[in-house]
Structure 1
Amino acid sequence: MSELIGLEEAKLHCRIDDDYEDTLIQAYIEAALEVCQKHIGKRFDNGLEFTAAIKIGCLMYVSQLYEYRTMIGDTDAKEIPMAVSALWSVYRDVGVY
């Protein structure tokens, strides 16, 4: 599933030039795709189209995870950012996931 968003594309979006955090960024890509599907309530392998809005939302979520990676215990960091939620909510089909 991570082939939907490439590592280099995510690093470019996050403005990361080095390679020493590639494993971390790859994990964030996987997490963003998982959270996206849970939020929408439908899976990519079960009819959910990977649209431009979904992709941008995932990239924004990756950058959010990267930016706030050191904030442990912050309850706001656990919420999906409003801009990301707005991009994904139009695809939401609650209870299908």
Structure 2
Amino acid sequence: MANELVTLQEAKLYCRVDSDEEDALILTLIHAASDAAIDIASDWTPGAEAPARLKLAVLAHVASAYDNRDSGVDSPDAARRLLFPLRKLDV
């Protein structure tokens, strides 16, 4: 997917996953977290180098979704705080 902001390997390292059994799940989480981050970070241009805070927000969102996949927990506040400065505010 063109909008992946982190790689599978980066996400697995961040989530401390060693096996390949859940790669499909983690890739789905990466796609969803990347899409959500791009929606919020409207001041960042897709295709440009992603800022570290954008990548960290995606990793935090992936880890939260992975760790809490059975509990229905929403994206972490930390991810939102990292993304909000990247919003484009219309006045």
**Shorter-chain TM-score above 0.5:** yes
Structure-2 separation of matches of 1:28 and 1:93 = 25
In structure 2, stretches of 5+ residues that fail to align are: none
Do the aligned partners of 1:40 and 1:94 also contact (CA within 8 Å) in 2? no
What TM-score results when the alignment is normalised by the length of structure 2? 0.83
Structure-2 separation of matches of 1:65 and 1:40 = 19
Residue 46 of structure 2 corresponds to: 44
Root-mean-square deviation (CA, aligned residues, Å) is 1.9
* Residue 86, structure 1, aligned to residue 88, structure 2: no
Residue 57 of structure 2 corresponds to: 57
- Work out the number of aligned pairs and report it: 88
User: Are residues 67 and 87 of structure 1, via their aligned partners in 2, closer, same or farther at CA, if it must alter by over 3 Å?
Assistant: same
Q: How does 1:10-49 map to 2 (within 5 A)?
A: 10-41=11-42, 44-45=46-47, 49=49
> Which runs of structure 1 show a deviation greater than 6 angstroms over 4 or more consecutive aligned residues?
none
Identity of aligned residues (%): 33
User: Are residues 52 and 25 of structure 1, via their aligned partners in 2, closer, same or farther at CA, if it must alter by over 3 Å?
Assistant: same
In structure 1, stretches of 5+ residues that fail to align are: none
